Structures are given as C-alpha cells and as structure tokens.
Structure 1
Amino acid sequence: MSKPRSKPASNRSKRRLLVGVVVAALAALAAWYWLSHRAAADEGEWRTTTVESGDIRVAISATGTLSAISTVTVGSQVSGQVTDVLVDFNDKVTKDQVIARIDPSTYEAQINQGNAQVASAQASLRQAQATLANAEADYSRKAELGASQLVARSDIDLARAARDQARAQVNAAQAQIRQQTASTETTRINLGRTVIRSPVDGVVLTRTIEPGQTVAASLQAPELFTIAEDLSKMKIELAVDESDIGQVKTGQAVSFTADAFPDRQFRGVVDQVRLSATTTNNVVTYPVVVTVDNDDGTLLPGLTVNAEIEVSKRDGVLKVANAALRYKPANESATSQAPRAARGSGGGVGDDLARTAASLELDATQQAAFDSANAAIERRQAARQAAPQQQGNSMFGGPGGQRSGGSSDSAMQAQIRQRMLERYQQDFAAFRTALDDAQRAKWDAAVSALVGARRAPLYKLVNGQPQQVMVRIGASDGTTTEVSGNIKAGDVVITGERPRS
C-alpha cells in the first residue's frame, strides 16, 4: 500500500523544484533589467568627455626616396676603347684617383703628327725670314739710288712690294706655327683625358663599362660611373600635398621609417622647401628636402621611406576630443537657458594675454601698465555681459556665438576681428609703449594670434544641463584639439546624446 503513494509525492517534489527554478530565473531577469536601466539613468542622457591638460603633436605624412646629398656622374670626354677599369661597385675612391683608362694610341699618334707639322711650319718661317731680309736690303738699295735719280720709280715700287710680301709670308709662317702648336696642345689634353679620374671622394654606386668596350663621345659624354660623394649625410625628397605645404618650414623635425628596417625609426631635419610643384592626376605636390645623418651607414640610397614632418608641438595645453567640437545639440532650446557669463564672447582672452605678459619678463612699471589696461578690459566685459539687451548679439554673429554661415558671415568675422585688434591696440597702447622692441614684437604677435584664432562652441555639462561656451581652437593631431577660453582642465563637455529608451 505504501509503494503506490510514493510516486505522487516524487512528482510533487519535481514540480516544486521546477517552479523554484523558473521563479529564480524570472527574479534574476528582473534584477538585471532594473540594474541596467538604473545604470543608464545614472549615466544620464549625454555622452561626455573631460577637458585635459597635455601635449599635442601635429605631423604631416609623406613618402619619399633616400639619396646621397651629392651624386657625381663621371663620363668620358674622348672616344676610344676602354683598356682598364680599376674600380667596381661600392668601392671607395678618393679625389683624382685613376678609375679607368682609354686606349691613348690614337692621341699619341696625333701628337707626333702635330709636332712634325710645327717643325715644318718653323722651317717655313725661317725661309720666309730669309726672303724678307733679302727684300728689305733690295728695297733699301733701290731707295738710295732713286734719291739720285739713278733708278726708275717703278723699280723702287716693285722692291717695296716684294718687301711687304716677304713680311706677310713671315707673319703667315708665325701664325701657322701657333695654330699647329695649339692643335697639338688640344691633342695632348685629350691624351690626358684618356685617364679617367674620380672628381670627388666617395663611393662608386654604378659602373656601366667593361674593359674592351668602346665609348663614343661625339655628341655627349657617355656615363661611365656614378659616385656618391658622402653617404654619411643623405637626403630625402618628400612629395608633400599642396594642402599641407603651407605648414612646412625649414628646420622642422622629421621622423621616418624604411621597409628595410621596420623596427627602427630614423630622424632628419627639413632643409629646403622647393617651389617646383608637380601635378600628377590633378594632385599637386611640392618637393621637400630632408637631410639625414647616416654615420653608421645603415641607410642605403634608393630606399623608400614613410616620413612624418612635425609641423607643430604644443606642450602643457588644454585639449579636448574632436567629437566634442563636432557635437551640435539636436534641440537648441536645451542651451537657451545657459548662463550668459558662460556664453560670453571674450572669455579667456585676458588669461591668455596675462600669460603672454608673464613671458615678457616685465619690470614693475610695465607690469603696472598691463594690470591697469587688463582691469579696464575686464570691467568693460563685465558690464557688457550684465546688459541683457546686448546678450543676443554676440560678437561671433548670432545668439550664443552661433555663426550664420556663408560668405557674408566670413566678411563679418573679418570685420569683427579687425575691430577687436584695433580695440586691444587702443586698450594696451600705454603698456605697449613701455615695452622694448623685442618685447613689443612678441606682444604684437601674440595679440594677432589671439584675435585671428578660430572659434567654435563647446557644451559643458553643469548640474546635468548643457552650457554653451565659445573656445579658441589651436593645434589638432586628428584626435584631440587644443582649446582655450572659458574652460579649464577637468571640465566635462558633451560629445553626443544617448538614445532615449
């Protein structure tokens, strides 16, 4: 009787266990759902990033080819058969070292022939000189007899003509001697050219001749060797895009790698920015020459390199992710209640001017003049920010500093910057007068840079609400951008909006 009752009890235990598992699973699912939504609620509706203080390095990428700084092509000025080749590829040579010889027999024979012609011309000269002496004597006798009317006038004239003709023969013989001597000297020079010498100290890169080969120099000098003058100093000719060439200056640092040495990074310096543009498939590039130290001889001529030109490096500046500068709120009314002080136009300029003034090493009189001018500017800005009727007309062309866009907006921005520059020049006129020439030049450059800087809106997250601030934009490395203005390290700025559930 007990066995039939055991099966229902076992089934009830299984059902209770199954119900318990289901309830536990539902409880876990509910907990996960609640926790995930709680975390999302804690994160808020904004994606954010933090303003940081750090360094920004701006570089331009380009490719090029390594080569020797000076490469000399050695040719032959004379024709003939090559009898000796005394150097090979990669051989080191010194200046005036004999590196090849051409058969000199043709030129030696021409010199012998020239010497014989000079000797013949000298014999003709002696003969002409004897004839001249006889003609002068004959003319002198007849001239004396003619004075006594003992010789006809025609005989005197014939004697004078014979004398002059003999003199011309002497001159012709002398000219022939000079001509033959010069011709022989030319042949002697060509004979010397049959010995090919290195014009510089260097290394043989290429050799294009073999013993027994005939070279012909009738129209142009054939190329026999290519010699790199010094491989401890090399150069790279980079092709830089026209959009980047304006940032490249002489003296900028360059880092590069070569496929032959993938684990090493080499360095160089921009030596020259050439003006000869090249257009390929409608792409305009400019050659930039970079000099490289190659004391260890690692780098080889002809290697293709991938280089980065460091055009700017900013240390210890405020920087923010580029996503924050790209962010525009979907609902502009979200920022319409932002405090006016946060949306003012001139925030942070005073701090930048103060930093510039501090770098000038001012004396007490100059510092007092700066403090007075800067205090007057701060009072004027505070009064302008307190005036509600002026808030909607920001100096950046619209409510909250938003720009209207278009060419008219660009013209307006240029006018505003010009007025700002004139205003700062007027406000700091007394301070500027107190500076010396070097300080004044540095101050003028800093003020022009501040006024001409590009500006963009950032949206700080304050008490869970966005506040728009206008910041000046500086250098960018493609990921982060230098910013300055009404912002500081640690400020939280918006980069996007989270999707609403």
Structure 2
Amino acid sequence: MSQSSRSRSFSPLRKIAVAAAVVAALAAGGYYWSKHKAADAAGGYRTETVQRGDIRVAISATGTLSAITTVTVGSQISGQVTDVLVDFNSPVKKGDILAKIDPSTYQAQLEQGNAQIASARAQLAQAQATLRNASADFQRKSDLAAQKLIARSDLDLSRTSRDQAQAQVNSAQALIRQQSAALKTTEVNIGRAVIRSPVDGVVLTRTIDPGQTVAASFSAPVLFTIAEDLSKMKIELAVDESDIGQVREGQTVSFTADAFPNRQFAGVVKQVRMAATTTNNVVTYAVVVSVDNSDGTLLPGLTVNAQIEVSKRDGVLKVGNAALRFKPADGSPLADMKPDGAAPGGSNGGRGAGMGEDLQNLAATLSLKPEQKAAFDAALEEMQRKQAERAAQVQSGSPQQGGGSRLFGGAGMGGPRRSGGGDANMMAQMRARMRDRMSQQFSAFAATLDDAQRGKWNAGMDAQINAKRVMAYKLVNGKPQAVMLKVGASDGTATEVSGRSIKEGDTLISGERAATESK
C-alpha cells in the first residue's frame, strides 16, 4: 500500500483526536471561567455556605470488652486432680461438676475422726458409771452423817468424789463435741474435693489438667474462669479528664472492633466511675458501657474503639469552622468593621439584639400566663431601651455609666479579638456583671414565675450568658458585613450557629484570597 493511501486511511482517526482536544480545551476554559467568575462574585474571599443539617458531637475512647460478671473458681483444699469434666467454652449450669480432687487423705481423716468419737463416747460411758457410783456413795454417807454415825470429813470426801465424777462426764461430753466438729470439717473438705460451678455461664479459662497437684496452703488457686452471661457484655472505656465532664449515664455509644472491621456496634453508658487512674501523668476515668450481645458475635477481651455521643443537634444551621476562625489581616477593611453594620468605633449592638431574641425564645418555652407575659415584655423593652441609650452615648462620644456597653458587645465580646489569660479573666468578670444586671432587669418578671418556671428561666439565662459568641463576616450582595453569631455544638468540621443575622444559604468569609489567587 502506498503512503498516500495510508494517510487517507488514518485521516478519520486524526479528526476524532483533534475534536477531542478541542472539547477538552473548551471544558478546561469553562471550568476556569466559572471559578474566576465565582471568585469575582465572592470579591476575592474564600467562603463557607451556611447549611441546615445535623451536628453530632462525640468523644473518642478505647476500651476492652468483658462479661458483665466474671467468676473465678478456685480450690479450698490441696490434692491431686483426678478428673476435669469441662474445657474452654464449655457451657455450664449452676451446680455442675467442673473437676474432682483425690479425697483419699480426707477420707482417712474421716475414719480417724469416727474412731476418735467412738473412743470419746466410751470414755463418757465410763465417766457416767463412775458418777452414778459416786452419787450413790454420797447419798448413803449423807444419811449416816445426819444420824451422826460417821465423821463429817467422810461426807466431804464423798461429795468431792461425786463432783470429780461429774467433771469427768462433762469432759467426755465436750470431747465428743470436739471430735464431731473435726469430723464435720473433714466431711466439708471431702465435699470440696468436687469443684462445682457457682453460676450459669461459659468457661473462659481452664488452668488445670488431670494428674496435676493443687496446693491451697496460703490462697485458693484459680482453676477456672466463668463468664456468667455473654449475651450482655460491658466495655470499660478510659476517658480523658478533659472530656469526662461531658459524659452522662444513658448516652449512646457506637464502637468498632478490629475483629469485625465492617460492622459497627452500639451500647449505652451505664456508669461513670469517680476513681481516677494516672498513667504517665495522664489522668483518665473509667466509663462502663453496657452492650447487647444476644447474637454472640462479640468476644470477651476484644479491644474496641468507641465514640460516646455527648450531644446531637438535628436540623440546625451549621457552617464550616474555617468561617468562625477567620480573622482579618491588619490593615484589612474588615478589621474595623462592627457587627450588624455598626459604625467603626461605635457600640456593638449585635450581642444585645441577639440576646433579646434568645430571651424571647426562652420565654416562649415557659407557658407564660398573660400577666407573666406582660411583665416579661416590660422588662425586655426596658433592657432594649437602655441598650439604645448606651449605643447613643458611645456614638456621641459621651462617657458611659458603669461600662454598660461592654456588657453587650464591647471589647472582647465582639470587638477586636484578643487572646491570653487576661482576656479570659475579663470575660468571666463581664459575664458576672451581665448576670447581675440581667437579674436586676428581670427581677419583677422572675417574681411572677412558679418554682418550675423559675428553675427553667434561671437555667436558660445562664446558658445564654455563658454561650460563646463570635464575630463572623457575611457577604451581602458581594459586600462583607460583620455579624455576631452564637455558636453551639461542633463536630470538629462544622459548628452550629444561630442569630438574627444568619439564615440558611448565607455565605460567610473563611479567608482572603491573595492577589495572584483571585486572578
């Protein structure tokens, strides 16, 4: 075939290759254009979108599976093992014979004891005969002494002989009781030569074989370990001291075992033990988790990796943590921005407004009567009026009374972000002042509540005051706006957020793009 004909035969393949290259180039260009357009729309910022979903907060811990009740079966006597009737994994019932120990030594002691008792009884019979003779002699001499036919000393001697005979009888009776007790001990030891199961369960370990000698001189040697009921098991988790405060009885636990990598198991926290364990300066607490093992899959001794679900929030607003960690660079236009559009240098009204909304939501859960609702509305209106007055004073440059604006969003509560121990102390003091102020402002309303309502109100107030709030930056029509958000549970990737300035679908800034990155 000529070269021209070969070229004509390959021309369709070349056309297909060229067409594919053109399509790839157009796709790459479209992708670059869409990213460039998105970057332009975000104004040179990296962003996170507020979504609605579930937040699951869990604590990780490791532990070991074991039976709820494990019984060690030992021997209280010494001797040679003659029979072992169970093995590993053998199911047993209470009273079943597990093993037997040669009872020959104790049977010999039993025969010896019987002979000693027979001897003691013979001694008793002899002593009783002596007593009868001595008693009769004393009676005769008592009659003769009454007639003054014998000396008084003869009567005394006869009385002494009778008393000695009585003592011999008592001694013989005591010896019989002693020998009988020793015989019972021997009989008990013969019974102990048969090792029985104290519970229903499964044999986990067996440490003896026929022909082996058991020595129980100082302590009972362990012969078997029996798990009482493997259909219900437990895990002892070692939880770090920094996490133990979040663990409560009744919380759900999910865990995996290396033996079953494709399966996840469930349990429930049953006990949080107060005794701490320190290992290499690491303090941990034992948390007992009950596990249903009715299918018999799990085995005692397995190491598990568990997740204790300490909090679960369903259907809440959440956003990626990067948006909440974002801090504007020095000199950035965002650095001087205040929440909710407040002027630079002015009062931050975001926290106060958010607090008012939170208090309204809290009051809605109290089933207030009309007079209680009126008292709440009056207190809330007074609080908002004072907030407005403080904001006006700050904007006009007038001095504030008692640092009022600090309580509702001054430095540290939505102003410039700070760090260090001093900031933590300042926050604690501010929360204490806020608690006092809120108690005063709502004292008339709280007085109208019953005990149940007051307890719920006080708990809700503390939760609102202690709630963590951060300042974030939302894009509104392509322009950034500072907003104050209350943050809740976090799963390490996303965090629950709430506030009057945030809704599903909002875009929060998580970073500023470099000049080359935004091009």
The TM-score, its normalising length taken from structure 1, stands at 0.87
> In the alignment, what sits opposite 2:486?
472
CA shift, 1:210, in A, is: 1.7
Q: 2:456 aligns with which of 412, 420, 442?
A: 442
Q: Deviations over 1:212-233 (max 9, x none)?
A: 2221211111211111100110
- Structure-2 change in CA distance of 1:476 and 1:94 (3 Å): same
Counterparts in 2 of 1:113-132, with a 5 A limit? Answer: 113-132=112-131
In 1: Cα distance, 2:83 partner to 2:125 partner: 45
Q: Deviations over 1:236-260 (max 9, x none)?
A: 1111111111111111100001111
Structure 2 residue 478 is matched with structure 1 residue 493: no
State which drifts further: 72-81 or 393-402: 393-402
SS at match of 2:351: coil
CA shift, 1:392, in A, is: 11
In 2: Cα distance, 1:425 partner to 1:463 partner: 40
SS at match of 1:457: strand
State which drifts further: 78-87 or 379-388: 379-388
SS at match of 2:333: helix
> In the alignment, what sits opposite 1:319?
318
Question: Residues 239 and 284 of structure 2 are in contact (CA less than 8 Å); yes or no, is this contact kept in structure 1?
Answer: yes
Aligned length: 471
Percent identity, please.
Answer: 65
Structure 2 residue 355 is matched with structure 1 residue 349: yes
State which drifts further: 93-102 or 262-271: 93-102
> In the alignment, what sits opposite 1:375?
381
SS at match of 1:221: coil
> In the alignment, what sits opposite 1:398?
411
> In the alignment, what sits opposite 2:432?
418
Question: Residues 41 and 478 of structure 2 are in contact (CA less than 8 Å); yes or no, is this contact kept in structure 1?
Answer: no
In 2: Cα distance, 1:38 partner to 1:70 partner: 66
Tell me, which stretches of 5 or more residues in structure 1 are unaligned?
A: 1-27
- Structure-2 change in CA distance of 1:392 and 1:185 (3 Å): closer
CA shift, 1:186, in A, is: 0.9
State which drifts further: 482-491 or 264-273: 482-491
In 1: Cα distance, 2:118 partner to 2:265 partner: 67
Question: Residues 254 and 307 of structure 2 are in contact (CA less than 8 Å); yes or no, is this contact kept in structure 1?
Answer: yes
- 1:409 partner amino acid: D
Structure 2 residue 252 is matched with structure 1 residue 214: no
Question: Residues 88 and 206 of structure 2 are in contact (CA less than 8 Å); yes or no, is this contact kept in structure 1?
Answer: yes
Q: 2:475 aligns with which of 413, 438, 461?
A: 461
In 1: Cα distance, 2:337 partner to 2:120 partner: 111
> In the alignment, what sits opposite 2:10?
none
Tell me, which stretches of 5 or more residues in structure 2 are unaligned?
A: 1-25
SS at match of 1:277: strand
CA shift, 1:329, in A, is: 0.9
- Structure-2 change in CA distance of 1:425 and 1:319 (3 Å): same
CA shift, 1:69, in A, is: 0.5
CA shift, 1:41, in A, is: 4.0
In 1: Cα distance, 2:331 partner to 2:50 partner: 23
SS at match of 1:219: coil
- Structure-2 change in CA distance of 1:402 and 1:164 (3 Å): farther
- 1:495 partner amino acid: S
CA shift, 1:38, in A, is: 6.8
SS at match of 1:440: helix
- 1:241 partner amino acid: D
SS at match of 1:345: helix
SS at match of 1:200: coil
- 2:406 partner amino acid: S
- Structure-2 change in CA distance of 1:39 and 1:357 (3 Å): closer
- 1:477 partner amino acid: D
- 1:398 partner amino acid: A
SS at match of 1:87: coil
- Structure-2 change in CA distance of 1:134 and 1:332 (3 Å): farther
In 2: Cα distance, 1:81 partner to 1:334 partner: 90
In 1: Cα distance, 2:469 partner to 2:41 partner: 32
> In the alignment, what sits opposite 2:184?
185
> In the alignment, what sits opposite 2:193?
194
CA shift, 1:447, in A, is: 0.8
- 2:512 partner amino acid: E
Counterparts in 2 of 1:92-111, with a 5 A limit? Answer: 92-111=91-110
Q: 1:385 aligns with which of 363, 369, 391?
A: 391
- Structure-2 change in CA distance of 1:332 and 1:427 (3 Å): farther
Q: Deviations over 1:35-84 (max 9, x none)?
A: 68776544422222222332211101111111110011111112222222
In 2: Cα distance, 1:37 partner to 1:161 partner: 128
> In the alignment, what sits opposite 2:265?
266
Question: Residues 469 and 486 of structure 1 are in contact (CA less than 8 Å); yes or no, is this contact kept in structure 2?
Answer: no
In 1: Cα distance, 2:156 partner to 2:331 partner: 120
In 2: Cα distance, 1:327 partner to 1:498 partner: 12
> In the alignment, what sits opposite 1:162?
161
CA shift, 1:467, in A, is: 3.5
- Structure-2 change in CA distance of 1:115 and 1:471 (3 Å): same
State which drifts further: 73-82 or 398-407: 398-407
SS at match of 2:77: coil
CA shift, 1:397, in A, is: 5.1
Counterparts in 2 of 1:215-234, with a 5 A limit? Answer: 215-234=214-233
CA RMSD of aligned residues (A): 2.6
- 1:478 partner amino acid: G
Q: Deviations over 1:453-484 (max 9, x none)?
A: 22322223345444333333321111112233
Q: Deviations over 1:164-194 (max 9, x none)?
A: 2112111111110000000101111111111
In 2: Cα distance, 1:173 partner to 1:332 partner: 110
